[in-house]
Each structure stands twice: as structure tokens, then as C-alpha cells.
Structure 1
Amino acid sequence: MKNTLVIYVHGKGGNADEAEHYKKLFADCDVVGFDYKSETPWDFKNKFFSWAEEKFSEYKSVILVANSIGAYFSMNAISQIDAETDDTNGKNEITAKINRAFFISPIVNMEKMICNMMTWTGVTEAQLEEKKIVSTNFGENLSWEYLTYVRKNPIQWKIPTEILYGENDNLTLLETVSEFARANNANLTVMSGGEHWFHTDEQMKFLDGWIEGRLNETK
């Protein structure tokens, strides 16, 4: 059995090929991207578990690297898979292999994000419940099914986690990500001037240094 697998979960509009960037940072590990097209957390969970069940069996441990909504989807999937297990330890034997996580600009409170989008659009809960789907002028559909799912399936996160957040993130407030970090004993790093999408040379250099620094601390 191999030692460590690093899985990369991209954000909205991204792709599994982005995992290539992380190969040089995790040189002693196998690095693969999880390729998904899911638009909902429940669809992602099903596809992730089927993939992980086969892939994780080859390795002793797994490191999760996830970006933006990919972090939320991953946390939801792992939380729900663990909640559904019959194991007395409350951990599924597959997801139990994930012993560390690196989140880049994670969506950590999906309910708050949906409610913010409702406020921006001027839609009440009663209206969303009646219409089920409401389109917005910023390209995202509001879904009553999605909102109720998020509320019924809160995140239960116990994996040691490092979080990288851009000071100018326009999707998640620093207060929100800080609250998540405190509640889940995660380490939070804030890049001054950083954005939600880490993509410039300066931002990627900072991201690389953040991962390398955290890895060196545990050697």
C-alpha cells in the first residue's frame, strides 16, 4: 500500500487539471484532481464517495486540498458519509484516511451565503419556498431545495485544517471564516490584498509559500 495521496478539489469553473500545480509542493506524494461537474452538495457526495472508495484503498493516508465551493462540497460529503456510517467511532473507514486539509478561499457557511444572495436579490424565504427556483441578475439560481438541504445537513468537521483567505474576498467575510476557524480549531492565514480567486503571480507565490511553510512545520 502506498503512503500518501493528495486530492485536489477545484472550485466553480475550475477543473481537475489544476492539481498539476500542487505536485511540486507535495513532491513525496501522489497528487490527483477529483473531476466533478456536480452543482449540488448531494450529487457531489455520491460521486465523491464512489471515487474515494476505490482510490483511497491504495493509500495509508490522504491530504485534502480544496478551493472555494470545492471546500464546502468536500466538507459536506465527508460529514454526511461519516454521519451515515455504522462505525462506533463515527468515522467511515474511507474518509478516516483523510488526516489533513488545506482550504483556499473556502465557502464555510453556505446557509449564510445563500441568505446573502437572497438579500441582494430581494427574495424572501416565503417567496423562495413558493417558487422553488429564483434566477438572479448575477448568474446564480436560488434554490429552496438547496437551502433546506444545507440547513438539514450541518457541517461536522474534525479534520486538522489550514485555511488561506484573501483580504479582499468578495464571497466570504473575514468574520465568517474566522468564526469557522475558531469553532473547528483550524489555522487561518490571511493574505493582505488577496482575492477570493488566487491566480496572480504574487498570489500563487504566497499560496505556495503558505503550503510549504505549513508542511515544514510538521516535519
Structure 2
Amino acid sequence: MKIQNIKIGNIPSIIWGDRSDKVYVHVHGKMSCKEHARDFAEIAVKKGYQTLSFDLPEHGERKDSSYRCDIWNGINDLTLIGDYAFSNWDHVSLFGCSLGAYFSLNAYTNSNFVNCLFQSPVLNMEYLIKQMFNWFDVTEEQLRIQKEIVTSVDLLRWDYYKFVKEHPVKKWNIPTSILYGRKDSMQSLEIVKDFAKSHDCKLEISQNSDHPFMQKEDVKIVHAWLEENI
């Protein structure tokens, strides 16, 4: 499979596959990188799609950057990537995983993607941050006073929490398929079902899968879902 390494602005990116008029913008999740799009790209190329993947802030080649992986920089970067995709391909679709899905929901509200696939999407960031409050015995008032609190999972930030509370995801009109693990502790089944119902999404629930879909059987489940929905 042909691979082209490029930079979009200052964002390290990869274009996977031979030239096509169709592309998937691939937005990875936390602790991942643009190279992890390979499996997706190999399935997509068989269906006539190229894949455009890139490193989110503080990931991959940008790991040591002081440019934070937060909602504002995420929206900024996804906007740059989206503009590039719509300028260079006739038919543009979207794949978002976990945090990448949440950034996509905020950055691409008015974008005309042909199709959208979300794997283990973070649909309600306020819920996830409140989960972290419980996991690490932190209160909203403590965060308000301290502004930032370091945890073993991520940095809790008051400005980020305030933003997500004030900007819940409401609008999403793109045809979307979701793959969700029933054992996912990041988002509740109720949140995912409500989102799918409100936005007319196709929802597949894997009963024995957790958020990362990293067990041996999960690889087969993800591949089968991609084969069916790309």
C-alpha cells in the first residue's frame, strides 16, 4: 500500500493508498498516533478509499510539544485537516476513535462528510470528567479553586471542564455508525443509546468489549464492523 508522509500546516500526517477521489479522515484517540491507522487504511483501500491520518497534539511526532491536546487545539487542528481533505478529494468521510470522536463532534458540526464511523466515541465529555472525579476523589469545587489537578489518567483542567459543560454536543447530521463496548467505563450505555437515537445512528454493541477494543477477539470485531460500514 502506498504511503505518503506530509505536513498539513505543522501537523505530521499520512496519506494511505493510491490516488482516489474518496478519502476517510482518520482521527485517532488518546495514546495513539497516525501510524495506527494502518489496519483501517488496508480495509478502506480495498473499497476504493484513501485514508488521511495525522497526529493529535501531544501524540506521535508531536509528543514533546507544549501545544496541548485540549478541545481548542483539537478543533483548530481538525479544522485544518478537514479543510485540506475537502480541498483535495471529492468525497470525504470520517472515522473517529474515543477522544478523536469528541473532537470531531465539536469541529465538524457543519461539515458535509459522506459517512461517519465512531469507535468507542466520547460523546459526553462532562460525564467522563465526572467519572474521573469519582475515580480520583476530586470535587468540582477543588478543581475550580486549583484550576489544574494531575491524575494518573489525565490532567483535569477547570477551563476544559467549564467548556464542556457549556457546550454539550447537540447537532450532528452526518450518517453515522457507532461501535461501542458494553464494558466501556468512559461512556455509559445510556449516553450512547440516547445519542444514537437522537441522531439516527446505526449502533453495534459488543457485549464483552471494553473501551480500547484491545483483546484478541476485539480485533476481529473491529475489522468485521469496518468491513461492513466503510
Which band: TM-score by shorter chain? 0.7 to 0.9
Give me the TM-score of the superposition, normalised by structure 1: 0.84
Which residue, 7, 15, 32 being the options, matches 2:52? 32
Correspondence list, 1:1-219, <5 A? 2-26=20-44, 27=46, 28-37=48-57, 38-79=68-109, 91=110, 95-96=111-112, 98-136=113-151, 138-155=152-169, 156-215=171-230
Q: CA deviation at 1:104?
A: 0.6
Identity over aligned pairs, percent: 32
Q: CA deviation at 1:3?
A: 2.3
Residue 133 of structure 2 aligns with an amino acid whose one-letter code is M
Q: What CA deviation, in whole Å up to 9, does each residue of 1:122-176 have, x standing for no partner? A: 333222111111223x332211100111122222211111000112212222122
Could you tell me whether the CA contact under 8 Å between 1:2 and 1:58 is conserved in 2?
Answer: no
Gaps of 5+ in 1: 80-90
Gaps of 5+ in 2: 1-18, 58-67
Could you tell me whether the CA contact under 8 Å between 2:181 and 2:206 is conserved in 1?
Answer: yes
Give me the TM-score of the superposition, normalised by structure 2: 0.80
Q: 1:65 to 1:113 in 2, by over 3 A?
A: same
Point out 4+ residue stretches in structure 1 off by more than 3 angstroms: none
Residue 147 of structure 1 aligns with an amino acid whose one-letter code is Y
RMSD: 1.8
Q: What CA deviation, in whole Å up to 9, does each residue of 1:25-77 have, x standing for no partner? A: 22201112122225101101111212322232111121111111111011111
**SS in structure 2 at match of 1:45:** helix
Larger mean Cα displacement after TM superposition, 193-202 or 67-76: 193-202
